[in-house]
Amino acid sequence: MQKRTIAVKQKQSTAPKPNVQDVVSRVLSESVLTISQARAELGNISGDRPDKSTMIRWITRGASGVRLDGCKVSRDWVTSTEALNRFIVARTQKALN
């Protein structure tokens, strides 16, 4: 029996790539949150905490053309309270347009 290989096309984000230096500087100058803390914050707002992998995907690829500002510090990803606010505002703006 011959093995078949199937090519799977990766879903590309429409979120523009940010200037990494600007994002890191902005996040680290704000109220820094670990991904676990950010998940808890969103859970307090919506009653449902997004999965850690979802939060990292929002940072690395975005959601609906919007990226969550975040940066990698050592082994962990961090974001900020202000970045969560910007992300929520931008996603809401897109949903209303």
Question: Measured between alpha carbons, how far is 15 from 42 in angstroms, rounded to an integer?
Answer: 21
Range of the domain at 50: 20-96
What is the predicted pLDDT for the residue at 97?
A: 87
In this structure, what token pair is assigned to residue 53?
Answer: 């992998």
Residue 47 lies in a domain: yes
- Sequential pLDDT tens for the chain (97 residues): 666 666 655 555 567 788 899 999 999 999 999 999 999 999 998 889 999 999 999 999 999 899 999 999 999 999 999 999 999 999 999 999 8
**How many domains does the chain divide into?**
1
Residue 29 lies in a domain: yes
Note the pTM of the prediction, 2 decimals: 0.81
Residue 7 lies in a domain: no
Distances (CA, A) of 55 to 3, 36, 84, 93, 96: 36, 9, 10, 19, 22
Residue 52 lies in a domain: yes
Residue 25 lies in a domain: yes
Residue 28 lies in a domain: yes
Taking each helix axis as running N to C, give the angle between helix 81-96 and helix 35-46, from 0 to 180 degrees, rounded to the nearest 10.
50
